[in-house]
Amino acid sequence: MRNIWTIAEKEFKSIFHNAIAYVFGVVMFLSLGIYFMILLQYGMQTQTYVPDMRVLLDWVLFPIFFFGVPVLTMRSISDENRTGTLELILTAPVRDVELIIGKWLGIFLFFLCSLALTLLYPILLNFLVEPGIDFSALSAVYIGLILAVGAMTAVGVLISALFKNPIASLLASLGAILLMWIIASPASNTTGFLSDLLKYLSLPEHYYGSFYYGSVSLSSVIFFISLTVFALFLGARVIESRRWK
Question: Which burial class, exposed, middle or buried, applies to 97 when counting CB atoms under 10 A from its CB (0-12, 13-18, 19+)?
Answer: middle
For the chain, how far is it from start to end, CA to CA, in angstroms?
Answer: 27
Distance, in Å, from the CA atom of 152 to the CA atom of 158, rounded to the nearest integer, reads 10
Stretch that binds another protein, among 78-86, 122-130, 186-194, 211-219 (CB under 8 A): 78-86
Site string for another protein, 4-33 (x = CB under 8 A): --xx--x---x--xx---------------
Task: Among 94, 109, 216, 234, indicate the residue that binds another protein (CB under 8 A).
Answer: 94
Task: Among 41, 83, 219, 226, indicate the residue that binds another protein (CB under 8 A).
Answer: 83
Shortest Å distance, C-beta 238 to another protein: 15
Q: What is the DSSP letter of 1?
A: -
User: Which residue lies nearer to another protein by CB, 96 or 205?
Assistant: 96
Question: Which burial class, exposed, middle or buried, applies to 93 when counting CB atoms under 10 A from its CB (0-12, 13-18, 19+)?
Answer: exposed
Told to check if 90 binds another protein by CB under 8 A, we report yes
Shortest Å distance, C-beta 150 to another protein: 24
Helix (H, G, I), strand (E, B) or coil at 95: coil
Shortest Å distance, C-beta 105 to another protein: 15
Helix (H, G, I), strand (E, B) or coil at 191: coil
User: Which residue lies nearer to another protein by CB, 10 or 237?
Assistant: 10
